[in-house]
């Protein structure tokens, strides 16, 4: 069964084609800097044990243009992997916000699309791009089932005392204002890997997803009990362009005293804050270069980024009344050993202590980086949201 997975981010698209039940992709792709004249596409194919990569830089003004390009690469040129688009049986879409409605993989109908559309304002960097992905896929993969996998679904197991805000009850019951949580597919994937590795199906785990968006989840026995993002993907950790937790009084001050408009505040917190606001750079590799050159602002930004994560680790160890392992994943979590070192410093009270030599090893699969005698495991686990999405689609379609 051919399953094509689309993971549309704010400025990137990741895609993978699987011939399920094989979990080895036939091809993978990464399109970055969408919205610019210097967008890049990296299209990798894995056929007959041979890996091939095609790379190009081109103008891509929006997600639609990006997806069209990906579709062309699937069916044309030296790196094509299928003869025609009709051979795709299902398209799995990562959808960031699904509200309270969706707790598992869902066939996309007009009503499902409406629900995704209604949530645009709560996930402004993501749901519009996810929606475009669905519309394009419906047009080009006309023979395929369209399936949505929601970032919010994994967090639906949170207890009510963890997902409610202390606001008047009607704002929850009538208006759905509560914690939803995001990156669920990633937290689900890496915690399952960790449980298997630890051979402990009841493990108390903290999953730390550090990409452009960053979030953490406390997971006991495979079930999420708390997470750092909230009503939208803006709360919690310091991110590439998002502020994470701030006192809501700041927003009133911006509006009432500094005369910001609500939309300008939204843009400020979603697109101009985080590492970008603190250092002028979104990409942690650029921030790290500034730190190496002795830049004080970049140093304090990295300290803030790590300190926020340390505080959440403490909170989640308390929430779970114990801790077996913490997991680092996504772009920064998987690749940035200096940030992992910062986060794991002065955490021996919680049994967290990393081995510098192991922390600096670079591999593409799971790595245990704690000292051998540390009581809490520290694992680096590459996430694979696309594979998890393909598996959930396959299951929904009756495969096993």
Ligand X SMILES: CC(=O)OP(=O)(O)O
Q: Which does 154 bind (CB under 5 to 8 A by kind): Mg ion, ligand X, ligand ADP, none?
A: none
Q: Which does 284 bind (CB under 5 to 8 A by kind): ligand ADP, ligand X, Mg ion, none?
A: ligand ADP
Find the shortest distance in angstroms from Cβ 22 to ligand ADP.
Answer: 24
Q: Which does 331 bind (CB under 5 to 8 A by kind): ligand X, Mg ion, ligand ADP, none?
A: ligand ADP
Tokens of 141: 């993969």
Q: Which does 273 bind (CB under 5 to 8 A by kind): ligand X, ligand ADP, Mg ion, none?
A: none
244 is a contact residue toward Mg ion (CB under 5 A): no
Residue 127 annotated as binding site: no
Residue 333 annotated as binding site: yes
211 is a contact residue toward Mg ion (CB under 5 A): yes
Query: Which residue, among 61, 47, 64, has the nearest Cα to 132 in the 3D structure?
Result: 64
Residue 364 annotated as binding site: no
Query: Which residue, among 236, 212, 40, 238, has the nearest Cα to 126 in the 3D structure?
Result: 212
Find the shortest distance in angstroms from Cβ 326 to ligand ADP.
Answer: 17
Give the residue closest to ligand X by C-beta. 213
Place of tokens 């790196």: 79
Place of tokens 């699937």: 74
Counting every residue written for the chain, the total comes to: 400
Piece of 54-62, 139-147, 210-218, 301-309 that binds Mg ion (CB under 5 A): 210-218
65 close to 41: Cβ distance less than 8 angstroms:
no
Residue 268 annotated as binding site: no
Q: What are phi and psi of 391, to 5 degrees?
A: -65, -45
370 close to 323: Cβ distance less than 8 angstroms:
no
Of 106 and 376, which CB lies nearer to ligand X in the complex structure? Answer: 106
Tokens of 309: 């994560």
Residue 339 annotated as binding site: no
CA–CA gap between residue 225 and residue 223 (Å, rounded): 6
CA–CA gap between residue 49 and residue 359 (Å, rounded): 30
Q: Which of 52, 83, 89, 151 is catalytic?
A: 151
Find out whether the peptide bond into 21 is cis, omega within 30 degrees of 0.
yes
Of 12 and 132, which CB lies nearer to ligand ADP in the complex structure? Answer: 12
User: Binding residues for ligand X, per CB under 6 A?
Assistant: 9-10, 96, 126, 151, 182-183, 211-213, 233
162 close to 225: Cβ distance less than 8 angstroms:
yes
Of 20 and 239, which CB lies nearer to ligand ADP in the complex structure? Answer: 239
CB atoms inside a 10 Å sphere around CB 55: 10
Task: Determine whether 324 is an active site residue.
Answer: no
Q: Which does 182 bind (CB under 5 to 8 A by kind): ligand ADP, Mg ion, ligand X, none?
A: ligand X
Estimate to the nearest angstrom the gap between the alpha carbon of 181 and the chain centroid. Answer: 11
Strand 367-368 relative to strand 214-220: parallel, antiparallel, unpaired? unpaired
Q: Which residues are annotated as part of the binding site for substrate?
A: 94
Q: Which residues are annotated as part of the binding site for Mg(2+)?
A: 7, 385
Q: Which residues are annotated as part of the binding site for ATP?
A: 14, 209-213, 283-285, 331-335
| Catalytic positions | 151
Question: What is the binding site for Mg ion (CB under 5 A)?
Answer: 211
């Amino acid at each position: 069964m051919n399953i094509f997975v689309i993971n549309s981010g704010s400025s990137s698209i990741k895609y993978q084609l699987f011939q399920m039940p094989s979990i080895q992709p036939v091809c993978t792709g990464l399109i970055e800097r969408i919205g610019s004249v210097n967008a890049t596409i990296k299209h990798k194919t894995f056929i007959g044990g041979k890996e091939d990569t095609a790379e190009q830089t081109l103008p891509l003004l929006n997600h639609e243009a990006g997806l069209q390009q990906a579709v062309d690469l699937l069916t044309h040129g030296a790196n094509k992997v299928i003869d025609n688009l009709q051979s795709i049986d299902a398209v799995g879409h990562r959808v960031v916000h699904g509200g309270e409605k969706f707790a598992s993989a869902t066939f996309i109908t007009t009503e499902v699309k409406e629900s995704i559309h209604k949530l645009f304002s709560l996930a402004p960097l993501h749901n519009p791009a996810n929606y475009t992905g669905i519309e394009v896929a419906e047009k080009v993969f006309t023979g395929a089932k369209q399936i949505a996998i929601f970032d919010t679904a994994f967090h639906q197991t949170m207890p009510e005392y963890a997902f409610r805000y202390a606001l008047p009850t009607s704002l929850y019951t009538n208006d759905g204002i509560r914690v939803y949580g995001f990156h669920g597919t990633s937290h689900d994937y890496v915690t399952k890997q960790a449980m298997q590795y630890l051979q402990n199906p009841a493990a108390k785990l903290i999953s730390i997803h550090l990409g452009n968006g960053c979030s953490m989840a406390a997971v006991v026995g495979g079930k999420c009990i708390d997470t750092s993002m909230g009503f939208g993907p803006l709360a919690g950790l310091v991110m590439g362009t998002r502020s994470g937790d701030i006192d809501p009084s700041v927003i009133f001050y911006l509006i009432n005293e500094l005369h910001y408009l609500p939309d300008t505040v939204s843009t400020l917190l979603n697109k101009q804050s985080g590492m970008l606001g603190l250092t002028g750079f979104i990409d942690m590799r650029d921030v790290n270069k500034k730190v190496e050159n002795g830049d004080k602002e970049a140093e304090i930004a990295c300290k803030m980024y790590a300190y926020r994560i340390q505080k959440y680790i403490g909170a989640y160890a308390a929430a779970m009344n114990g801790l077996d392992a913490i997991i680092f994943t996504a772009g920064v979590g998987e690749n940035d050993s200096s940030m992992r070192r910062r986060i794991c410093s002065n955490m021996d009270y919680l049994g967290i202590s990393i081995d510098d030599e192991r922390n600096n090893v670079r591999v593409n699969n799971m790595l245990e980086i704690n000292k051998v005698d540390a009581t809490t495991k520290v694992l680096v686990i590459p996430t694979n949201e696309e594979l998890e999405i393909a598996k959930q689609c396959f299951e929904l379609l009756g495969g096993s």
